[in-house]
Structure 1
Amino acid sequence: MTARYSSVRRTFPASYWTLALALLFAAEPAAAQEAGDAPRPDAALDAAPNAQGSGSYGGDIVVTARRRAETAQDVPIAISVVGGDQIDNTGSFNVGRLQQLAPTLQFYSSNPRNTAVNIRGIGAPFGLTNDGIEQGVGIYVDDVYYSRVASATFDFLDVAQIEVLRGPQGTLYGKNTTAGAINITTNQPTFDFEGKAEISIGNLNFKQAKAAISGPLTDHLAARIALSSTSRRGTIYNVTTDRWVQSQDNIGIRGQLLWQPNDDLSVTLSGDWSKQDAVCCASVFVRTGATQRPLNRQYAALAAAQGYTVPSTNPYDRLTDLDASLNAGNEIGGVALRVKWDVGPGTLTSVTAWRYWDWQPENDRDFTGLPIVTKSQNPSQQNQYTQELRYNYTGDRFDFVLGGFYYYQRIDTQGTEQHGPASSRWTLNPGSDSTLFDPLVTGCGPSASNQLACTPSVLDGLTAINTQFLKNTSAALFGKASWKISDQFTIQPGVRLNYDKKEGFYQRRVFAGDGTPVVFGPTDAVTLARLGVFAPQEYAPEFSDWNFSYDLTATYKATRDLLLYATYAKTFKSGGINQNGVPNDANNNPLLGAATVKPESVNHYEVGIKTEFWDRRATFNLTAFRTDIKNFQANVNNGQFGVLRGYLANAGKVRTQGVEGDFSIRPSERFRAYVNGAYTDAKYVKFVDAPCAPEQSGGTNSPPNCDVSGQWLPGVSKWAFSFGAEVNAESKLFDQDGQFYFGYDGSYRSDWSSNPTPSAYTWVKGYSLSNFRAGFRTESGFDLFAWVRNAFDRNYIDQLSVGPGNTGLITGLPGDPRTWGGTIKARF
């Protein structure tokens, strides 16, 4: 958290300015916030959490992390807060960019559906998304739970404030969240007329426009409407289609009606719709690595056999040659009704919501320009219904939150995957008879009946059609109390009773290129070859379970500006079902034992200190944590093209522990700086049957699984920092009083593993990014500034992927190059 500061101007000795200038080069916008110069705590609670003054740029930091308004420094939770102005100024217009402001947040996305948000290295399994399990990080927008992380790829729409809560939050939030929660608050309708507009343009043909208007319709009815549109040319050039890919093309709208007949009752009806129609998603060649396959079956030999070369072996040339259709059509929307009613000494809140998500993807799953996999698409449609009811009571010595939550979700998916004329040569072994085939030679050799690889028609047109659905029901009672034993010491117990039920269906039908069904039974070589690529399967998994969670927090308010706290939480992440297929047994029947995964059992420990000093011009918060997870839900796969897309299994035990610190300083209105950091030690404690790394896979004697106990969890850096500063000077422009300002935002993360099992080939090197902005703003809300992001044009990788088939191919998604542009904002 950044420091509270007063609006009273002060002068400071030269030594203070020396310290400030030093911090300028050591900092970046963190998930921190500044608040006033010793406001009354009870006055802060009266402030609206979406007030324009809140956030990193001034005013009290009022948060609703515990389902009531209170100052961030009084909340015994590790929490990062990002204000709406900071989101705009740093270009952090979706969750993916938010991770540059919050060091403990990890975001991975190969396309909108295959998106994961983790906190402290845990939350969702790394790899292909499986609908049959829950997210460990809950995303809430105005109290509404968003069950699919795909919504995180959309632009933030009229956001007032974002709170990133670390650690389990199941006794405070409707859906159980074992790793943390992202609580997004939008600007609400007002009974005073107000509006804002913003336009940005930049290189890569970047264009973004945002607008919002709010005001009264009657004495008791107010409305607000907000719009957002973003477009940008892609950053990767596809030489096959002569198009730029990885583009941005988002549009969104949100409308709200607020009925407030009296001071005790408010009813808000909101609706939103967003559509994403980008040319996406592509990868580029990064490297190859030796596997256990014979040399003639590894990438270099396979590519040479078909005369194939990639357009560039340098990933930062940003060239690809993918030949299958690419699409990432994404539409999401919903309606919510929120009722707040002051009843006696507390407030009753009801949140009723319906949301939908339609996903229309097309991918190239062979990651090459060869017609190996010519079609890969898994469109899906989701509907979800949620009802949350809670009662908040606040007293002199005793507070509590008591709630109930119901959730129902239905997902239907229709998948099609098809192989092309290059698949036989690439996928099938030309034969093991050394008299017919030299294992060091890639050509087909003499004609022989067992050399199916030399016959394109064996796999050309081979098609798998998947049909699946999921019905997911969850209900919970939860509550958290706060008992102020003395003026300094408070204990806060919480409980949660949870029921989950999941019912699914998975069917895969396989057809040869001529339309003939491919089934088990025939033993001819062609059928067996086809079954080795796509195996038909059908099963209907089910899971249901009750679990009980609890936590206890003790806080000690040593002084007005020093809070110490400790938390223990025993919680669960619901079990699930495998929705992408499971292995077959020796009789070619689905292994039903693998159709379900056990719940995760979580023990969480955390201690922290929150302090303000130097007349509340400086803030320093420090947190130490440890989370132990038994039956960790991990993603595994067998490396083949289509037999399994990946399925879930339970790892024995995982542990993540570390230390997080937030420091901010504001010696005057002319300067502020902050630095946030996190050290995270996240490992598999016990995982003896994990999928093997590429370098251990592919050979006839390769182990079916490997022991990765003691190795690093994927996706999490040991060290991560965000830091920044801003300096301003009062001046005039066009006869308008205001400030010229200059800001710097930076972030750093150390190397991390981009594969569920750590591999020498999939470590992403650490990198640092620097962003600058400079402009002029007025008190009336006019703001004109220029910006440059990734100013030093650092080359970095967002994610690495292992190509299918254990050929040793490694592809990746290069991060954005240097971008620059300008923004103009106005409020009225």
Structure 2
Amino acid sequence: MHSFVRSSLFATTILASAAIGLPSAQAKDGAEDVAANAASAISADDDQGTTSIGTGARDRGVDIVVTARRRNESSQEVPLAISVVGGDHIDATGSFNVGRLQQITPTLQFYSSNPRNTAVNIRGLGAPFGLTNDGIEQGVGIYVDDVYNARVASATFDFLDVAQIEVLRGPQGTLYGKNTTAGAINITTNQPTFDFEGKAEVSVGNYNFKQAKAAISGPLSETLAARLAISSTSRRGTIYNVTSNRWIQSQDNLGLRGQLLWKPTDTLNITFAGDYSVQDAACCGSVYVRTGATQRALNRQFAALAAAQGYAPSSTNAFDRRTDLDANLNAGNKIGGASVRVKWDVGPGTLTSVTAWRFWDWKPENDRDFTGLPIVSKSQNPSQQDQYTQELRYNYSGDKFDFVAGAFGFYQRIDTQGTEQHGAASSRWNINPGTNAQVPPGSSGCGPTAANQLACDPATLNGLVAYNTQYLKNTSAALYGQVSWHLTPELTVQPGVRLNYDKKDGYYQRRVFNGAGDEILLSGPSSAVKTAQLAIFTPQEISPNFSDWNFSYDFNVSYKVTPDVLVYATYAKSFKSGGINQNGVPTDAANNPILASATVKPESVQNYEAGIKTQFWDRRIIFNLSIFRTDIKNYQANVNNGQFGVLRGYLANAGAVRSQGLEADFSVRPSERFNAYVNGAYTDATYRKFVDAPCPPELSGGTTVAAGQVPAAAGTPGLSPANCDVSGQRLPGVSKFSFSFGAEANVPATILGKEGEAYVGYDGSVRTNFSSNPSASAYTWVDGYSLSNFRAGFRTEAGFNVYGWVRNAFDQNYYEQLFVGPGNTGLIAGLPGDPRTWGFTVSSNF
């Protein structure tokens, strides 16, 4: 689809990369531009130990400039836990989106079964694990050049011309436009310059991997400068679908960003920016992993159901990377927008206005039964979003105090149209034939009873379809501010406040039709066939809404023990807005929606944090340590009932959640020839009180217990509890221990008459096991794993760089996620992580 654009881009970047003799541009547009400051200082990445490519000799630390507190300052001066990753390190490690960024920032968690169902969490908090629900906020704010991105789907796109990324840990609501209760990812791109400069990069690798990046910047007049960047990534899929004879989980990304800087005076600059990115991958699927015993009758568990229909998975070894999914797969994804940023030096401070519009267009096709059988023949929920934001803030920096005060407005409209349809194998898979006998392989399993006849007649559910229509109108407004009062040159107190208003109006409608095209209504005559069909899809129409004010605040105290040692402590009281259920709600015995479940309460967050930031050995060594505890009441959790179509999943409030732990960042650069880093996190994130959680598959599938009855043992057919108490269990997706580490060494070298340095680098990561289900299950623990990435190459002072790389060098088999198959049949599917990949990269600055 993008072959012409991609070919043109590759030709351009190859030509540009060949220009190795051109001098690199040195000038940047003003000290106030973070991108320019980051480019000159990123070689001393305090949290990642990153080295700059082609910056020349350096034997002591250089401050990293960040905007965590909405002003330019050294990261070691900021009294909060922050990780900074430079653009060069992003390129060198192949971390070209947030998903890969988690390998070098151990406190970050990223999970994505497809772009829409993506979660980005910090310290285990942010968004509930599982299917995405549009009716709540994400908790971790993603900002690109001060513009808030409401959809986490934006995190699945390639980074485009990035200068640096700051990962801020803990609540940031008194500094950022949208309340960010778990943290923020602040992405800064390279800005237009008044000196001509450019860069180009081409990478090729196995699995037909091809990536090209190019950027050019320079003046159009004395007051006008422009920058244009483009990126393209393509790769063959890593999983082979024997049904479609097609590789899936491919990459096919194209991105474009343009910026225009108008600087009529020294005190005023206005930046117009626009971007557009598109993904057109063969995605997203899964592979068979295993089965586990549930409480369903034995003849209704996976082995018996598959045998009765003569079905066997294409492979029972997940790392054969073979699947047989029979429904169409697609992950069409477009995102983009435009913004105007005005920075005006007014009096002693700077007034900043950021006006932005963003859109997101999602056109998916999925196989929700995770098998090669026509159980669910269609699962498509295309969605369209428009969002508008306006932020106005004033920053002041002085000898005695600094402050930022701001106002933020947000409006979002999301429209979704869903189609879910069942196929010829659905009747046998979903209708209870009323016997607990094991079905022998190859037998029909059909008997004379009415239930058996329904189960054995494909027409009962074949063609049954539900059409879902929903929309969300989300409005938010806030006033926020923070003051840093320097009581002495060493002691600073920093209070912050935020007043927030949120309003959500939603609509959800599900209409159900049988295979003949007749609408199925709750009213009217009943029949055994209708009852069986309503057990799969229940008509529903609700209009949930929510509105509320909240007030949050934080208080920070920091003290400089010495010029290179900073200690700090923070308390923050924050809120995550309440939400609405946009995917439907549970029903009562008469199939009427339980409207009390239509809304979820706001999360109430209390965060305690203390830390120390240190520099030693003439700033060659940096060591930062933070400890934290976050308590959340009314935690917004995902609940799934295990059925195919009654509900895809809905939101409910867990009583309480706690995340606590310790984070450490260490880097050392004894000379210009060597640097190393080690980052680690211990995260203890648990449900403190969740007594009515969804049960794991081993405690699901049987007849729900009545009063006085006792549930069967786990994995034993019989009675199942209505819900489970998971208090004390670990939150899903969170490893207790995670580490990233690496080193790079170089020596002077001359190649083809070009003086430079030869180098070799290593980056590794380790994480311990984590649960891949909202309620921990013995079947869905993902084992811990380690990844190792190597690179070796040659670079020059002028900005030419050529290197080879190997990622997941030891071909570690690991899962990114495991999924519980619908229907409580015991099926567990999974998404394997990338195998070993290797390739070569050539880049040049000019």
TM-score range, shorter chain: over 0.9
What is the aligned counterpart of 1:261 among 235, 240, 264?
264
1:280-429 matches, cutoff 5 A: 280-429=283-432
Cross-structure match for 1:68: 71
TM-score if structure 1 supplies the norm length?
Answer: 0.94
- AA aligned opposite 1:465: Y
| Cα distance in 2, alignment partners of residues 642 and 278 from structure 1 | 26
| Cα distance in 2, alignment partners of residues 410 and 315 from structure 1 | 39
Deviation of 1:430 (Å): 1.3
Cross-structure match for 1:135: 138
The aligned length equals: 784
Cross-structure match for 2:17: none
Contact between 2:34 and 2:67, CA under 8 Å: does it hold in 1? no
What is the aligned counterpart of 1:190 among 168, 190, 193?
193
Deviation of 1:53 (Å): 4.0
Cross-structure match for 1:491: 493
- AA aligned opposite 1:811: A
Cross-structure match for 1:459: 461
1:736-815 matches, cutoff 5 A: 736-815=754-833
Cross-structure match for 1:19: none
- CA offsets per residue over residues 198-236 of structure 1, 9 Å max, x none? 000000000000000000000000000000000000000
Cross-structure match for 2:637: 634
1:639-654 matches, cutoff 5 A: 639-654=642-657
Contact between 2:199 and 2:214, CA under 8 Å: does it hold in 1? yes
| Cα distance in 2, alignment partners of residues 612 and 47 from structure 1 | 24
What is the aligned counterpart of 1:658 among 656, 661, 668?
661
Deviation of 1:246 (Å): 0.1
Cross-structure match for 1:566: 569
Cross-structure match for 2:447: 446
Tell me if 1:244 matches 2:244.
no
Distance 1:76 1:67, change over 3 A: same
Secondary structure, aligned partner of 1:157: coil
Distance 1:638 1:46, change over 3 A: closer
Cross-structure match for 2:215: 212
Tell me if 1:57 matches 2:75.
no
- CA offsets per residue over residues 68-109 of structure 1, 9 Å max, x none? 000000000100000000010000000000000100000000
What is the aligned counterpart of 1:85 among 88, 95, 99?
88
1:529-540 matches, cutoff 5 A: 529-540=532-543
Deviation of 1:519 (Å): 1.4
Distance 1:394 1:45, change over 3 A: farther
1:674-689 matches, cutoff 5 A: 674-689=677-692
Contact between 2:431 and 2:451, CA under 8 Å: does it hold in 1? no
Tell me if 1:469 matches 2:476.
no
Cross-structure match for 2:16: none
- CA offsets per residue over residues 608-635 of structure 1, 9 Å max, x none? 0000011111000000000000000000
Contact between 1:390 and 1:402, CA under 8 Å: does it hold in 2? yes
| Cα distance in 2, alignment partners of residues 266 and 50 from structure 1 | 19
| Unaligned 5+ runs, structure 1 | 1-42
Cross-structure match for 1:7: none
Tell me if 1:716 matches 2:734.
yes
Cross-structure match for 1:158: 161
| Cα distance in 1, alignment partners of residues 202 and 581 from structure 2 | 45
1:577-596 matches, cutoff 5 A: 577-596=580-599
Deviation of 1:444 (Å): 3.0
Deviation of 1:450 (Å): 2.8
1:77-116 matches, cutoff 5 A: 77-116=80-119
Secondary structure, aligned partner of 2:763: strand
Secondary structure, aligned partner of 1:375: strand
Contact between 1:50 and 1:185, CA under 8 Å: does it hold in 2? no
Secondary structure, aligned partner of 1:278: coil
Deviation of 1:588 (Å): 2.2
| Cα distance in 2, alignment partners of residues 593 and 207 from structure 1 | 51
Deviation of 1:590 (Å): 1.1
Secondary structure, aligned partner of 2:831: strand
Distance 1:667 1:398, change over 3 A: same
Deviation of 1:448 (Å): 3.0
Contact between 2:203 and 2:840, CA under 8 Å: does it hold in 1? yes
| Cα distance in 2, alignment partners of residues 670 and 440 from structure 1 | 68
| Cα distance in 1, alignment partners of residues 37 and 388 from structure 2 | 26
Cross-structure match for 2:276: 273
| Cα distance in 2, alignment partners of residues 796 and 639 from structure 1 | 25
Cross-structure match for 1:34: none
| Cα distance in 1, alignment partners of residues 588 and 352 from structure 2 | 51
Contact between 1:45 and 1:62, CA under 8 Å: does it hold in 2? no
Say what the alpha-carbon RMSD is for the aligned residues.
Answer: 1.4
Cross-structure match for 2:671: 668
- AA aligned opposite 2:485: W
Contact between 1:49 and 1:161, CA under 8 Å: does it hold in 2? no
Secondary structure, aligned partner of 2:374: coil
Tell me if 1:231 matches 2:234.
yes
Contact between 1:681 and 1:718, CA under 8 Å: does it hold in 2? yes
- CA offsets per residue over residues 740-772 of structure 1, 9 Å max, x none? 000000000000000000000000000000000
| Cα distance in 1, alignment partners of residues 619 and 542 from structure 2 | 61
- AA aligned opposite 2:823: G
Distance 1:346 1:792, change over 3 A: same
Deviation of 1:488 (Å): 1.0
Tell me if 1:123 matches 2:141.
no
Secondary structure, aligned partner of 2:135: coil
Cross-structure match for 1:21: none
Contact between 2:35 and 2:164, CA under 8 Å: does it hold in 1? no
Cross-structure match for 1:38: none
Contact between 1:282 and 1:326, CA under 8 Å: does it hold in 2? yes
Tell me if 1:507 matches 2:495.
no
TM-score if structure 2 supplies the norm length?
Answer: 0.92
Deviation of 1:637 (Å): 1.3
Deviation of 1:48 (Å): 3.6
| Cα distance in 2, alignment partners of residues 175 and 201 from structure 1 | 39
Contact between 1:397 and 1:485, CA under 8 Å: does it hold in 2? yes
| Cα distance in 2, alignment partners of residues 637 and 65 from structure 1 | 37
Distance 1:245 1:46, change over 3 A: closer
- AA aligned opposite 1:480: Q
- Comparing 50-59 with 406-415, greater Cα deviation is found at 50-59
| Cα distance in 1, alignment partners of residues 726 and 468 from structure 2 | 32
Distance 1:559 1:457, change over 3 A: same
Cross-structure match for 1:31: none
- CA offsets per residue over residues 774-804 of structure 1, 9 Å max, x none? 0000011000000000000010000000000
Deviation of 1:586 (Å): 2.9
| Cα distance in 1, alignment partners of residues 688 and 439 from structure 2 | 40
| Cα distance in 1, alignment partners of residues 119 and 798 from structure 2 | 39
| Cα distance in 2, alignment partners of residues 338 and 67 from structure 1 | 14
- CA offsets per residue over residues 30-71 of structure 1, 9 Å max, x none? xxxxxxxxxxxxx99999444244242254300001100000
- AA aligned opposite 2:450: S
| Cα distance in 2, alignment partners of residues 298 and 307 from structure 1 | 14
- CA offsets per residue over residues 398-424 of structure 1, 9 Å max, x none? 110000000000000000000000000
Cross-structure match for 2:624: 621
| Cα distance in 1, alignment partners of residues 755 and 570 from structure 2 | 48
Contact between 1:297 and 1:807, CA under 8 Å: does it hold in 2? yes
Secondary structure, aligned partner of 1:150: helix
